[in-house]
Structure 1
Amino acid sequence: MEIGSELLGVTEWLPATVPGGVHDDLYRSGWIEHPWFEQNSLACEWVENRWWVYRATIDEIQLGENESAELVFEGIDYEALIYVNDQLLGEHKGMFHEAVFDISGRCRSEGPLVLSVIVKHAPDEMAQIGRTSETHTQKSRFNYKWDFSTRLVNIGIWGDVYVRIADSCTLEDIHVIAEPAPDAAQGIVRVSAAIRNAAIKEEETTARYERLSLHVQVFDPEGNECACNHVDVSAAGHTELELEVAKPGLWFPNGYGEQPLYKVTVQIRDGERCLDKQSLLTGFRTLRYERNEGSPQEALPYTFVVNGVKVYIQGVNLTPLDHLYGNVLPEQYAYMVEMMKRGGVNMVRVWGGGLIEKEEFYDLCDRNGIMIWQEFIQSSSGVDNMPSKQPEYLRLLKLSAVSALKRKRSHVSLTVWSGGNELMEAPNKPCTYEDENIAMLKELVERYDPQRLFLPTSASGPVEFITREKGVSHDVHGFWKYQGNPDHYSLYGDADHLFHSEFGVDGLSSAKSIRKFVGADNQSPASMKDNLVWRHHGEWWDTLERDEALFGSMKTLESFSDASQWMQAEGLRFILEANRRRQFRNSGSMIWQLNEPYPNISCTSLIDYYGEAKMAYYWMRQAFLPAAASLDYRKLDYGIGEVLDAPVFVVGRGGAQTAVLAEAYGSDGQLRWSKTFHSGLDEEGRSRQAGRLHLPITEELRGLFMIRLTLSQSGNGHASDGSQADYFFSAGRDGEEPVYAGAVSLRGAVLQVSGVGRWEPEEPAELAINASGTATLGLSSLRRSYIVENTGQALALHVRCEETTNGYWLAASEQFFTLLPGERKEVEVSCFRKKCGGLLAEDKSAASLPPDLIFRCFGQDTDGYEERERHSINEKEGAKVHV
């Protein structure tokens, strides 16, 4: 108005990635320093407070007589004005529902179109320390600062943008349900769809179409048509159709069976002419919910029953994969789901402070048997936790909830909806269905996805947090730190909660990861009370005081990381085993958290930002084995002359007879005691006590000693499916000597490592599903086995390998295992070539090199290696590396 020309802006026009976000584009163009290094994110907070303009040209589109063109934005973050040829097309607010604009007339009259999207500054929303009752947006809140993330408020276009060209008669809101008949001899596929007609007048519709019909085909996992049907339909409205499939394969959660997927193709036809066609994948399964065994009548149903089989929940909580979630690539989702599957996980909770994730994630969960607990976008705060009742907020919440319900309900992996994270009507008192906000969401679930359970919130109460009080804990959260020796063991070992949907223990990232984002001056062990850089990367999760009390003074970054990860693994494993010992009185455990969206020095994550799995991940996998033995102990330290008296339990399905070999070893690795217990497995998987360990603590065990439980089903004394658990204690410590001082002073382990053959390519893992319902492939990986032997004279504690080139994610058949003197293991290593978006793309510095592995055990710093050989694809078979 004042000068008659367009403002030039703060920057020149910069290349933009869509989907993506402004921060990554600015970093690529040199406008900001790398946000993750030390405290650089503080200097990036101006970005969220500016308005940003995206611009692109849409080439000329030729439309047929009956065709229309719609401009579709799958995700704008957060509020935008959309212009075509400098004319306002419309406005949009909200991350989780599409923005759709008809541009048919412009395509016919204006030729190429210049599209401009003005993204307004990010709204001022609540961080973790805030008031949930004052939340007013449907924007992902973790961006504003959470315990596992910094403040870096994403802004930009985080979803796909495209022009959708279609006949004026199109399909919408397709919903597929596939269930087997009670005898499983046939399956029923129920398809519903809405038909939208862009014609303005009914007489135009009648003249334009001769005979409209809805056609549905079902294809089995091999691609063969196994059912088809059609029905005549009107030009607009809602239509339903059923099909029968003979002897369908049943979809089961990970660990309970296979995951066969059937492609369902839906078409709207005019005679023989296809007007619109959409495909998706589904699976045949029944799903119901039962109250836990022995639970109060007023308790909600927390036991999930799939195809008539009770499923014990072995779960994790998922945060967004990155602060810059628009830049996350399908391969990153694929790696996380692969690690869930390998870890024995069968359910993931998509946390309400994060995202309604992209379709690739749900597709991958369908393929890998990972049941999904999906929360709507609401979360607790540090000041109050009452769900917002503001009218504009409820309007936005309804828009995103309906969008999520319609888009996700056909996924066979989707198992339960939740109103959000830790929503409370009063301190420690979770919200119920009576809350106005929750009641609205409950009605929406009943309308759009009535087959699935809706829980009011997680935890759903009647008390929020785990407690020693009996009879009040149903679904609870907490805690998130190791509770100390012996308090940790009495709290969780004696608990009576029905379900444990969130809990964790904190631990450091690997030294390898920490060195990527912390400068040399800050790479020594530090307290977050004293070091601002460390505080910036994990203030809540300072473990120095805890770990020095248990291990002694921390001298190096490696030793600190080793000790911290050990206690995270120890604390989490005990909780998992204690919960599983009450299987079906307790219906499951969901660890907080699988991943982190930001590089933390310390956090409750099992896998750090760079994809490095911590010790806790592998001890979780041990606890989640289909059949396992566990020791129910109550402390870590014993005096000489005491007796370690603890029951031994077995858990697993199927009724097989098992033997549990219990052995006690001194720190020199010499066997001091052994006993074998026998027990059958319960048919449905309930835990059974196999016997009781009664171990006198003698001088031979002074210092560090280990109890090993080896479960076998063949009677040969060898572990079944890797079921071997090692527990570590101290005996006869003096005064204030740390519990695990014996581990720190342990010397004498020597690892001898031999590569078996060469690196061989693995079959690519199935990655995602394209628009036609066909699987695409990804996660290019190499696999190789190694023989690892302890040729020394002491226990080799927590042996693991590390990939050093940064070009690969690593997964191994075993990690963080202990070797006795003379003992050897064969370890199969898979290295997945990294393909990352956003700032993680920097972590591919050696992507063209073959994997390079280092093997080490507890207390060995990588800087101390005197001899190493790099492994390459062309190395001679049988080459060795001495570590």
Structure 2
Amino acid sequence: MIEKTELNSGWTLSCNDTGRSGLPAAIPATVPGCVHLDLLANRLIPDPYIDVNEITNDWIGRTDWTYRCRFEAAPDEGKVQELVFDGIDTVAVITLNGEEIGRSFNMHRTYRFDVSALLKSGANDLAVTFRSAYAYGAEMEKHYGYRPNNYPGPGNLMRKMACNFGWDWGPTLVTAGLWKPVRLESWDRARFAETRVSASLAGGDGLVKVHAKLARHGDAGTCRLVAEIGGMTTKIAIGAGQDQISCELRLPSPQLWWPHHLGAQPLYRMTLRLIDEASGDLLDSFERELGFRSLQVDTSADEHGSAFTFVINDVPLFIAGANWIPDDCFPSRVTGERYAARIEEAKAANIHMLRVWGGGIFESEEFYAACDRLGMLVWQDFLFACAAYPEEEPLRSEVEAEVRDNVVRLMPHVSLILWNGNNENIWGFDEWGWRPVIKQGESWGLGYYLDLLPKLCSELDPDRPYYPGSPYSGSMEIEPNADGHGCKHIWDVWNDVGYEVYRNYVPRFCSEFGWQAPPAWATIEESVHDQPLTPRSNGVFHHQKATQGNEKLIRGLAGHLPEPRTMDDWHFATQLNQARAIRFGIEHMRSHRNICKGAVVWQFNDCWPVTSWAALDSAGRRKPLWYALKAAYDPRLLTIQPRGGGLAAVAVNERTLFWRAKISGRRLKLGGAVLAEFEFWRLLCDRFEAKEFPLPEDIVRPDLPKDEVVVVDMLDRRAFHYFVEDIDLNLPPPRVSVDVTAIEDGYAVKVTAEKFLKDLCLMADRLDPDAVVDSMLVTLLPGESHVFFVRTAKTIVVQDIVIGTVLRSANDLVAGR
């Protein structure tokens, strides 16, 4: 069996810039990790996430560094001994006992070096010297020539996490280091060099395909591959000169794996064992948990253009999704527990697909394993984003190597449902002015997306769909961001116009759209220490990376909510507007389920404390948007939408059972008086259907638009419609009664509305930074009550529930203006 010695301790770090004073010659270092984290742990730099410290740390990415460790070894002529680096960030020279053993140019691949001839008995000295990514990038620009890039830095000229160089939600923190584990492996005779495993359905059976490549040493004789899953076993002999083997296993009638809103997630442990035929010794093993489901992406032509529909187990889905970015600028800090917690939060928000975006990383095994367990579908971008990429050497070979590494590594995961070629690069070439900048005949990445990547996916993982890009319309003959074809990004809404413009689009699938807001108040206070805090104070403004981001936040309020006068109001108004904008867009798209088959909001998470498009901020705190997603992605949604000059209640059902219930509605004065009403005994909405119910004329025609609201109920679902925006609505000042009752793990806070109360929110982090509340954005008619459940270890009393700070609503912002 392979002997593995972890080399994750005893490391030191040194700065190779002789002009940089004040640093120790040898700094204690942590592996996995990076230079920033080691300097931070040794109190040699200020925390780059705090205030404007990011800019004081810029020198780190422009400097060369060396990691060193000394480890004990015992050379053995009968064994191969290899140093394995799971992740090197990024341009480095590796030496052992003073001899160069290899170089790295790619953050996204595994490196393996045979050091059998260099190891010494006793102490061995290992060093990894990192070159500044900026310096290497400058060299590569001379080599390739200029290529357009929407963001700073040379991320498109090397294989490194692009958002390291800064994004419109992320800081510029250019890392270097050993960001994944390092180990020494010793083996004899043979080991698995590559193991490709896929699981699919063949009729009612589960079909597991295995293709293994072997590395051999010496006069290794006949081996045996033993494959087992679900009580089924296959044994295959591997001849002495044979280095590849394929086999299939059939598992009778396995339970199907489903996304979490539709069913269970049964997983079957599969093991592969490589056994020496003569001695019976176990030489190597491989284990994965597999799930069984069918999968296709339907892109067939229809009367609307061409579809973009994920079909799982023969069910055409509407995808309730969110984009996922690296959860920390320093990915080694993200533990398996943190991944699981974040994905649990996505599941709790009724999200059932995460798109791993192409400007970040291929995530760790813990991420995809958690998605497998929790029924979270994964769309995986290849790592090309918002830039033109050279296709010449040496970049082309690095791209191929990283794709081979990661497709093979990730393909066993049942949650993974799409390989996507790039993020916005075909769109960028077509519409962002790249054409005249890229010289005739110069490469810009298209060969990757239409040739290299699909060929590699077809070779390595043929049972999983590949799509060239997001957005992309299925053909270079159709503009890439067309409504009627493929997947679409909607960004004019945030950048240029109001969120009401979402209704101008009925895309086949929307893989990006979003709206900004600041993080939770507690997160701002932890990361910014401006006195006073204002939207434009230095720290708050520095943690806003979008071009004219603050101006767009205020412009986006126009026509909806009044311009805020205080920091508290700015914070709540912009958070509320974000939640409303995205809920508005999702409900519109879901109401057109017969045409549109997915909404993937930008974005779910953050990598540092920042004003951004995220629903969950970098501290893991829920913004109001999180609660809006939970409501808008509810598998049973009731919404009111404009139809044919009037209004319709639209019931949308993503459950496996039909939804049949009485539907009733009222047009009310805000004070509660009923002006018109209707009742329809049974509305039937079949599974996977959007069913429209036209509202009666006396419901949709107001007498006094500023004083009226339409309320429609269907069983336990409720929808509202207003005839004017809040800024023109006669919302009364908030008048409530509050009762607080201690419960296990926290408190039940009952709020009763004396007057109409719109979008009531209890901001739990204003009570306790660690508190979590179960609900937000609750609208109450006069006399109605709602109970908020607050999980906290802190004591709470009624007097703590302060209107205008802890208890917020649209009424706070509008009444009396």
> What one-letter code is carried by the residue in structure 2 that aligns with 1:815?
M
> What one-letter code is carried by the residue in structure 1 that aligns with 2:391?
K
Once the two structures are superposed, what CA deviation does each residue of 1:290-336 show, in whole Å capped at 9, x if it has no partner?
A: 23683567x4x521111111121111111111111222222221122
User: Contact conserved, 2:589 with 2:599, CA < 8 A, in 1?
Assistant: yes
Quote the Cα distance in structure 2 between the aligned partners of 1:537 and 1:854.
Answer: 35
Select 2:29's aligned residue among 6, 16, 23: 16
Quote the Cα distance in structure 2 between the aligned partners of 1:483 and 1:102.
Answer: 52
> What one-letter code is carried by the residue in structure 1 that aligns with 2:752?
N
Once the two structures are superposed, what CA deviation does each residue of 1:447-481 show, in whole Å capped at 9, x if it has no partner?
A: 111112211110013666767xxx75542111264
Select 1:572's aligned residue among 582, 598, 606: 582
Q: 1:861 is paired with a residue of what secondary structure?
A: coil
Cα 1:359/1:829, change in 2 over 3 Å: farther
Aligned to 2:11: none
Quote the Cα distance in structure 2 between the aligned partners of 1:314 and 1:853.
Answer: 38
Quote the Cα distance in structure 2 between the aligned partners of 1:666 and 1:597.
Answer: 45
Q: 1:151 is paired with a residue of what secondary structure?
A: coil
- Please say if 1:149 is aligned against 2:170: yes
Quote the Cα distance in structure 2 between the aligned partners of 1:621 and 1:855.
Answer: 29
Aligned to 1:613: 622
Select 1:29's aligned residue among 38, 42, 48: 42
Q: 1:363 is paired with a residue of what secondary structure?
A: helix
Aligned-pair distance for 1:261?
0.6
- Please say if 1:101 is aligned against 2:106: no
Quote the Cα distance in structure 2 between the aligned partners of 1:561 and 1:247.
Answer: 54
Quote the Cα distance in structure 1 between the aligned partners of 2:484 and 2:79.
Answer: 60
- Please say if 1:604 is aligned against 2:580: no
Select 1:231's aligned residue among 229, 236, 242: 236
Aligned-pair distance for 1:628?
1.2
Aligned-pair distance for 1:358?
1.1
Once the two structures are superposed, what CA deviation does each residue of 1:68-98 show, in whole Å capped at 9, x if it has no partner?
A: 3321111111111112223322211110111
> What one-letter code is carried by the residue in structure 2 that aligns with 1:53?
T
Quote the Cα distance in structure 2 between the aligned partners of 1:293 and 1:682.
Answer: 26
1:630-641 equivalences in 2 (<5 Å)? 630-633=639-642
Aligned to 1:817: 778
Unaligned ranges ≥5, structure 1:
1-5, 220-225, 635-642, 713-718, 732-737, 760-783, 832-848, 865-883
Once the two structures are superposed, what CA deviation does each residue of 1:625-681 show, in whole Å capped at 9, x if it has no partner?
A: 1111111149xxxxxxxx994111111143331333334455446655543346655
Aligned to 1:869: none
Aligned-pair distance for 1:598?
2.2
Aligned to 2:688: 685
Deviates more, 1:657-666 or 1:166-175: 657-666
Quote the Cα distance in structure 1 between the aligned partners of 2:736 and 2:74.
Answer: 70
Aligned to 1:290: 298
Aligned to 1:205: 220
What's the C-alpha RMSD, in Å, of the aligned pairs?
3.4
- Please say if 1:403 is aligned against 2:347: no
Q: 2:302 is paired with a residue of what secondary structure?
A: coil
Quote the Cα distance in structure 2 between the aligned partners of 1:194 and 1:806.
Answer: 55
Once the two structures are superposed, what CA deviation does each residue of 1:181-219 show, in whole Å capped at 9, x if it has no partner?
A: 42x3x32222221122122xxxx223xxxx411001114
Aligned to 2:192: 171
Unaligned ranges ≥5, structure 2:
1-15, 138-146, 436-442, 809-817
> What one-letter code is carried by the residue in structure 1 that aligns with 2:333?
N
> What one-letter code is carried by the residue in structure 2 that aligns with 1:274?
L
Q: 1:23 is paired with a residue of what secondary structure?
A: helix
Quote the Cα distance in structure 2 between the aligned partners of 1:444 and 1:851.
Answer: 58
> What one-letter code is carried by the residue in structure 1 that aligns with 2:736?
A
Cα 1:307/1:559, change in 2 over 3 Å: same
User: Contact conserved, 1:629 with 1:648, CA < 8 A, in 2?
Assistant: yes
Cα 1:366/1:401, change in 2 over 3 Å: same
Quote the Cα distance in structure 1 between the aligned partners of 2:558 and 2:304.
Answer: 43
Aligned-pair distance for 1:20?
1.5
Cα 1:260/1:195, change in 2 over 3 Å: same
Once the two structures are superposed, what CA deviation does each residue of 1:515-551 show, in whole Å capped at 9, x if it has no partner?
A: 222223251244xxx8675155234322134336643
Aligned to 1:534: 541
- Please say if 1:137 is aligned against 2:158: yes
User: Contact conserved, 2:86 with 2:181, CA < 8 A, in 1?
Assistant: yes
> What one-letter code is carried by the residue in structure 2 that aligns with 1:724?
R
Calculate percent identity across the aligned residue pairs. Answer: 23
Quote the Cα distance in structure 2 between the aligned partners of 1:696 and 1:585.
Answer: 26
- Please say if 1:750 is aligned against 2:737: yes
Aligned-pair distance for 1:595?
1.2
Aligned to 2:226: 215
1:744-823 equivalences in 2 (<5 Å)? 746-756=733-743, 758-759=744-745, 786=748, 788-790=750-752, 792-795=754-757, 797-803=759-765, 808=770, 810=772, 812=774, 814-823=775-784
Aligned to 2:208: 189
Once the two structures are superposed, what CA deviation does each residue of 1:322-353 show, in whole Å capped at 9, x if it has no partner?
A: 11122222222112211111112121111111
User: Contact conserved, 1:657 with 1:679, CA < 8 A, in 2?
Assistant: yes
Cα 1:132/1:371, change in 2 over 3 Å: farther
Once the two structures are superposed, what CA deviation does each residue of 1:475-495 show, in whole Å capped at 9, x if it has no partner?
A: 21112645899x643x43242
> What one-letter code is carried by the residue in structure 2 that aligns with 1:252?
W
Cα 1:565/1:449, change in 2 over 3 Å: same
Cα 1:701/1:585, change in 2 over 3 Å: closer
Select 1:159's aligned residue among 150, 171, 180: 180
Aligned to 1:427: 431
Quote the Cα distance in structure 2 between the aligned partners of 1:595 and 1:117.
Answer: 32
> What one-letter code is carried by the residue in structure 2 that aligns with 1:561?
H
Aligned to 2:87: 75
Aligned to 2:470: 458
- Please say if 1:307 is aligned against 2:335: no
User: Contact conserved, 2:355 with 2:381, CA < 8 A, in 1?
Assistant: yes
Cα 1:144/1:132, change in 2 over 3 Å: closer
TM-score w.r.t. length of structure 1:
0.79
Aligned to 1:764: none
Q: 2:245 is paired with a residue of what secondary structure?
A: strand
Aligned to 1:881: none
User: Contact conserved, 2:271 with 2:286, CA < 8 A, in 1?
Assistant: yes
Cα 1:429/1:555, change in 2 over 3 Å: closer
> What one-letter code is carried by the residue in structure 1 that aligns with 2:718?
Q
Q: 1:417 is paired with a residue of what secondary structure?
A: strand
Cα 1:603/1:666, change in 2 over 3 Å: farther
Cα 1:681/1:615, change in 2 over 3 Å: farther
